[in-house]
Amino acid sequence: MASSRLPVFACVLAVASAAAAADSGEVVSYLDSLQSFTASFTQQRFDEDGELLETLAGEAYIERPGRFRWAYGEPYVQLIVSDGATLWIYDEDLEQVTVNSVTETGAGSPAALLGRESDVAAHYAITALPAADDGYAWYRLESKEATSDFSAIALGFADGEVRAMRLTDNLGQLTALSFDDVTRNEDVDDALFHFAPPAGVDVVQGAMP
């Protein structure tokens, strides 16, 4: 269960790295100013035929450089937490914690948009999309890296904040996210980026996917 969530989470980091912009230059400029991002979220995953596979909900806390807490609360409890050096994945139902050493993320990956300094324009072709009827201003970020897990990322903005995201992977599956109660560049409790395994759970050493 944990491994299927990680690529999606890495892409969500990209969402927290941008804001409404008239062109790609302003998107990149805002990314450079980002320090932290918190929000509640709803996540839906669709197969290549458009069939809904699952709906999840939770809370996201992100702080540069590379610190995050991605907490799923519905329909099950799962935590993905990193202090920038160690990554913990806790599955409550499985009573298991997987511990990974955080390694350098590829420059062309979505995680790099938040986790470290990256020339976004050098790794993504950024295009403003035609106006949609959902009220969002959409921008498409298409990776220039052949090894990227995702063929495209679409960011949706409203009221000066990122509010939605669509991720299309190389198998044609779509993950759609919406964000509420967004705050950015405010202090985030340092304790949120540390994790101590609960007593009695299995602790497994893993490797970053």
Topology at the third CATH level for domain 2-205: outer membrane lipoprotein receptor (LolB), chain A (2.50.20)
Residue range 37-77, pLDDT digits in tens: 899 999 999 999 999 999 999 998 988 888 889 899 988 89
Res 84: pLDDT? 86
Q: What is the pLDDT of residue 114?
A: 53
| Whole-number pLDDT of residue 64 | 84
Q: What is the pTM of this model?
A: 0.78
Enumerate the domain spans of the chain: 2-205
Residues of the chain with pLDDT under 70: 1-31, 103-120, 146-148, 207-209
C-alpha angle 177-155-169 in degrees, rounded to nearest 5: 65
Residues 6+ apart with CB under 8 A from 7: 149, 150, 169, 209
Q: Specify the pLDDT at position 190.
A: 95
Residue in this structure with the two tokens 């993950």, named with its chain if needed: 175
pLDDT of residue 145: 72
**The pLDDT of residue 29:** 67
Task: Kindly report the average pLDDT of the chain as a whole number.
Answer: 78
- pLDDT at res. 78: 93
Looking at residue 180, what is its pLDDT?
Answer: 94
| pLDDT of res. 138 | 86
